[in-house]
């Protein structure tokens, strides 16, 4: 049974571990560059953003980070332990992101991913995100997406 809840300070080390494991397969594909979520300060993330965790059988297996920005919400990060990928946890977190954006009164949600993470791009496009542009940002080749939210 999957449980989604707001992250607490005690979840920060678990979020760090999940990010490390979830993004590790992309490091080689990104020319040895570590994905930005691998080095995030999750202690600060839990305090400064709307951070959620997914629990499976009582263990934290994934997380979601949302940030309100002007007229939209940024899906800043989502990650699931490799051992739990394909179980629906990631999809549940993405649905939660859209639900939270709507509940906060936003009409759109945006996100970005590294251009080397083609599987993520395919998923985002399958669930209705539209690529808006590509750009180098903070040393990363990123693909930016947006999805209009209807009530």
Where residue 113 falls among pLDDT bands split at 50, 70, 90? very high
Please, are residues 145 and 109 in contact by the beta-carbon 8 Å criterion? no
Question: Quick one: average pLDDT of 9-15?
Answer: 97
Is residue 57's pLDDT more than 90? no
Give the pLDDT confidence score for residue 39 in this predicted structure.
93
Q: How far apart are CA 39 and CA 128, in angstroms?
A: 29
Boundaries of domain holding 31: 2-148
Neighbours of 38 (CB within 10 A): 17
CA distance 83 to 30: 22
The SS3 call for residue 52 is strand
Domain count within the chain? 1
Asked if pLDDT for residue 1 goes beyond 90, the answer is no
pLDDT score of 151? 59
Backbone angles phi, psi at 40, to 5 degrees: -70, 150
In CATH, what number is assigned to the domain containing residue 54? 3.40.630.30
Query: Higher model confidence: residue 21 or residue 31?
Result: 21
Percent of the chain with pLDDT over 70: 99
Average pLDDT, the chain: 94
List pLDDT tens digits, range 86-97: 899 999 999 999
Residue 99 makes CB contacts below 8 A (sequence gap 6+) with none
């Amino acid at each position: 049974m999957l449980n989604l809840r707001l992250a607490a300070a005690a979840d920060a080390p678990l979020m760090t571990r999940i990010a490390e494991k979830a993004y590790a397969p992309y490091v080689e594909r990104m020319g040895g560059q570590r994905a930005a979520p691998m080095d995030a300060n999750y202690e600060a993330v839990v305090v400064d953003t709307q951070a959620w965790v997914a629990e499976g059988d009582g263990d934290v297996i994934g997380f979601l980070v949302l940030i309100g920005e002007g007229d939209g919400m940024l899906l800043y990060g989502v990650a699931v332990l490799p051992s739990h990928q394909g179980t629906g946890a990631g999809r549940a977190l993405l649905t939660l992101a859209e639900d939270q954006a709507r509940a906060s009164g936003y009409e759109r949600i945006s996100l970005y991913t590294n251009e080397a993470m083609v599987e993520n791009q395919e998923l985002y496009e399958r669930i209705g995100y539209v690529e808006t542009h590509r750009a180098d940002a903070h040393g990363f080749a990123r693909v930016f997406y947006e999805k209009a939210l209807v009530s």
